[in-house]
Amino acid sequence: MFSSFRQAMAWLHTWFGLVLGFVLMAAFFFGALSVFDREIDRWTVPTTRIAPQPMPSFEQVLRPAFERMHPTPAAIDAMRPRVDGAMPQHFDTVVNWSAYTTHRDPVLELYAGYEVPNAKDPEEAIWAYGTIDPRNGKALSDDQLKIGSGFFYPMHYSLTLDWKNLGIWIVGFSALMMLAALVSGVIMHRKLFREFFTFRPGKARLRSVLDLHNLTGVVALPFHFFFAFTGLVIFASTYYFPVGQTQLHGLHELHEQVEAQETGLPHDRAGVPAGLASVDAMVAEAQRRWAADGKAGDVGFLMMQHVGDANGYVSVYRAGTDRIALVGDGIHFKASTGELIRVDPPATPTGRVSEFLTGLHLQHFRHWLLRWFYMLGGLAGAVCIATGFVFFVEKRKRQHAQRGSQGARIVDALAVTTVTGMLLATLGILVANRLLPENLPARGDWERYAFWCIWALALLHAAWRSAPVAQGRANPAWREQCIAIATLALAAVVLNGITTGDYVWRTIATGYWPVAGIDLFLLCSAAVACLTARALKRRASAAQSRIADMGMARV
Amino acid sequence: MSNTLAVQGSSATRLRVASRVAAAVLGGYVFAWGTVAAVTGLLSATGMEFHDAEFLGAVAGLLAYLVAFLCTVATRRLAMAWLVLLGAGALMTAAASFVQSLLT
C-alpha cells in the first residue's frame, strides 16, 4: 500500500491527525485551562472569592459538616438497581469520611460513603458529596457549577461524555494518536528539512503555516509527548487496561491481603461500636512528624475509615506543594485512641517514578511560573493542531475547487468550529454564568446548555459561510468568529465587574490575582482576536483586489 | 501521493485501508493488553509490589501499543501483522494467567 515507511508515516500523520485532531484540540485547550481550574472556579462562584484556607479543625468544623451530609435522592435512585429488595432511605453506617483541599482552594470538598445493607456487592458504598466554607462549615449550594474544576477539567479528559466512559476512551485513543503523530511527524520532518531550503514564492502562506505547525510541535515536543503519555498512564490501570480488576484480580486480592497484614490497617469493620479520639491531635502529631523530616506540613487529604467502629482509623496525607512528585506521606492513627498505627514508608524506586509522572501531569506543586509554562505548553499544542488543520485545507482547497470536491470546505468548517467555535463556547459559558439569575434552580445545567448551544451555533455559522472554500477562497467565518470572540471576552470582563463589583482595576489594586488574572487573560484574548480579525480582513481584501486585477487583465 | 489514496481510492483500496486500520487499532490493543498482563504478572512473580508491577506493565503496554500501531500502518505484509499481534497478545495473556495460577 505504501512504497516507503516514511510515506506510511505521512499518511498516518495526515489522516489520524485530522480526524482525532478535533478531539485533541479540546483535550489540549481544556487541559491548558485546567491548569488554572481553581482560579476559574473563583471567577464563576463569586461567593468563594476568598483566600485559600488550610484544612480546618475536625472537631469544630468538619465533624458537624460530615454529620449533616446525606446521599442525594438522585444518588439513591441510581443505587436502586444494585440492591436486593427495598432501597433503604437512611444510611447510618459510615464507611468513610474524607476531606480534600489544595493550596489554591478556599473551599473544602467533603466525601462521605455509607454502607448499603442489602447491596448486591457488599463492598459497594453509596456516596454523598459536599463543598463547605472551611471558615465556618457552611455548605455551599450544589447548583453552583464550578466551571473550572467541575466542567473544563472533565472536558479535558472525558469530553463530559460519561456514558460507559465513552469520552475517556475517545480522549485516550486520541492521546495514543498524538504520540503516533509526534513520532510520524519527526520521521516526516527529516525530509521536510530539505524542503525548507527550497524556495517556493507562490506558496509563501502555505509555508508559513507549516513553519508555525513545526515550530509549536517541535519546541514543545517533550511537553506534548510527556503529557499525552502520562495522561494515558494515569488512566491505564483503571480504564484502558484494567488488568488488576479483571484478568489478574487474584493477584490483586493477594496483594490486598498481604498489605492489610503489613500495614495493620483493618480492611473490615469489627462490628463493635467505638468512640473517636481527638482528630485534631492526630493531625498535629502528623504535622510534627513531617516537620521533623523537613517537609511542608499542609494537610491535603484527611480520611476516616470505618467511622464509629473499633476498627476505625484516621489517615492524614500531606498536600504535595513542595515537589513535582505526587506524594502522600500518609500517617495513620487508631480512631478510638489516637495511637499511631503506621507511617507510610518511603516509596520504592518504581513508586517514585510513578509519583513523578503522575505529579508532572496533575501539578499539585506551588510554583506559579511553572504553572504558566504548563498553560503555554498546552496552548502551543492547540496552535500546533490548529495550524495542522489550516495546512490541510490550504494545501488542498485549490485542487478541490478545480475538481468540484467539497472535502476542503467540510474540513475548514469543522476547523472553524473546533478552533474559534470552541473559544466562543468557553467564553459563552462564562458570560452565561454572569447573566443567569443567582438563584435559578439547576443553574449549572443552564450554563452547560449555553456552552453546547453556542458551540452548535458556531458550527452552523461556519457551515453556512463556507461556500467560498469550495472556490479556493477563505471562509469569512474565521474573521467573524474572531470578532465574536473579542466581543464575548470583553463582555465577560465587564459583566464580572457589574455583577460582583470586582472591576479589573479593583482586583489588580487589591492583588486578588485569581480573578484579576482571568480578567487580564480575557482582555489579552480580546486584543489577539481583534488583531487576528484585522489581519484576516487585510488578507481577504488583498485577495479580492488580486481577483479584480486578474479580471481587468482579461478585459 | 498517498494522501489522496483514501479519498479517491476504489472500494478495494478503501477495504485495504480499513483492514490496516483495524489491525493497528484492534490487533494493537490485544497485543498491548498481553504486554500489560505479562509484565504485571511476571514482575509480581519476582516479588515486586503489585501496584509497582501494574504501573510498569501499563508503561510497557502503552509503548508496545504505540510501536505496534506504527509498524502495522507501515508494514507490507498485513496478514503477518494480524498474526503476530493476535498471536503474541494471546500468548502473553495466557502466560500472565498461568503465572497467577501458580502464585494464588
Counting the structural domains of chain B, the total is 1
Residue type, A89: Q
- Mean pLDDT of the B69-87 span: 94
pLDDT over 80 at A554, yes or no: no
State the pLDDT at residue B6. 44
- pLDDT tens-digit map of A256-286: 888 888 888 888 899 999 999 999 999 999 9
- pLDDT tens-digit map of A321-343: 877 777 788 999 999 999 999 99
Query: Do A117 and A96 contact (CB within 8 A), yes or no?
Result: no
State the pLDDT at residue A330. 92
Give residue A200's pLDDT band: very low, low, confident or very high (50, 70, 90): very low
Query: Do B58 and A229 count as a contact with CB atoms less than 8 A apart?
Result: no
Q: Chains A and B: how many Cβ contacts under 8 Å?
A: 118
Write down which residue in A316, A351, A386 finishes a domain.
A351
State the pLDDT at residue A390. 92
Report if residue B6 sits inside a domain: no
A343 and A370 co-located in one domain: no
State the pLDDT at residue A247. 94
State how far residue B84 is from chain A, nearest Cα, in angstroms: 19
Residues 6+ apart with CB under 8 A from A289: A331, A343
Counting the structural domains of chain A, the total is 2
The boundaries of the domain holding residue B38 are 27-103
State the pLDDT at residue A472. 85
State how far residue A279 is from chain B, nearest Cα, in angstroms: 30
Cell of A370: 511553572
Residue B36 CA to residue A168 CA, distance in Å, equals 19
Write down which residue in A305, A326, A351 finishes a domain.
A351
A545 and A473 co-located in one domain: yes
A411 and A521 co-located in one domain: yes
Residue A481 CA to residue A278 CA, distance in Å, equals 58
Closest by Cβ to B103, choosing from A244, A251, A350: A251
Report if residue B10 sits inside a domain: no
State the pLDDT at residue A189. 74
State the pLDDT at residue A141. 79
- pLDDT tens-digit map of A305-326: 999 999 999 999 998 787 777 7
Give residue A213's pLDDT band: very low, low, confident or very high (50, 70, 90): confident
State the pLDDT at residue A4. 85
State the pLDDT at residue A467. 92
- Mean pLDDT of the B56-81 span: 95
Least confident among A221-235, A395-409, A484-498: A395-409
- pLDDT tens-digit map of A399-452: 888 888 889 999 999 999 999 999 999 999 999 999 999 889 889 999 999 999
Cell of A303: 480520611
Query: Do A231 and A361 contact (CB within 8 A), yes or no?
Result: yes
**C-alpha B60: how far from its chain's center?**
11
- Mean pLDDT of the A490-506 span: 96
Establish if A243 touches chain B: CB-CB under 8 angstroms.
yes
State the pLDDT at residue B5. 45
Give residue A192's pLDDT band: very low, low, confident or very high (50, 70, 90): low
Report if residue B57 sits inside a domain: yes
State the pLDDT at residue A194. 52
Give residue A198's pLDDT band: very low, low, confident or very high (50, 70, 90): very low
Report if residue A356 sits inside a domain: no
pLDDT over 90 at A208, yes or no: no
A68 and A33 co-located in one domain: no
Report the relative pairing of strands A299-305 and A125-132 from DSSP bridges. unpaired
Which residues of chain B lie closer than 8 angstroms to A361, CB-CB? none
The boundaries of the domain holding residue A484 are 5-47+152-233+364-554
pLDDT over 80 at A142, yes or no: no
State the pLDDT at residue B2. 41
A38 and A90 co-located in one domain: no
Give residue B104's pLDDT band: very low, low, confident or very high (50, 70, 90): confident
pTM of the predicted model, to two decimals?
A: 0.91
A468 and A453 co-located in one domain: yes
Closest by Cβ to A236, choosing from B16, B58, B100: B58
DSSP letter at A152 equals I
A336 and A296 co-located in one domain: yes
Which residues of chain A lie closer than 8 angstroms to B62, CB-CB? 176, 229, 232-233, 236
A536-539: long-range pairs with CB below 8 Å, 24+:
A536/A474, A536/A478, A536/A479, A536/A482, A537/A479, A539/A474
Write down which residue in A321, A351, A381 finishes a domain.
A351
A77 and A20 co-located in one domain: no
Task: Render A52-79 in DSSP notation, one character per residue.
Answer: ------IIIIIHHHHHH----HHHHHHH
Report if residue B50 sits inside a domain: yes
Cell of B84: 503476530
Cell of A12: 498516518
Give residue A527's pLDDT band: very low, low, confident or very high (50, 70, 90): very high
- Mean pLDDT of the A363-371 span: 88
User: Mean of the per-residue pLDDT values for chain A?
Assistant: 90
- ipTM, two decimals, is 0.91
Give residue A14's pLDDT band: very low, low, confident or very high (50, 70, 90): very high
Query: Do B55 and A237 count as a contact with CB atoms less than 8 A apart?
Result: yes
CA nearest to B33 within chain A: A241
CA nearest to B14 within chain A: A1
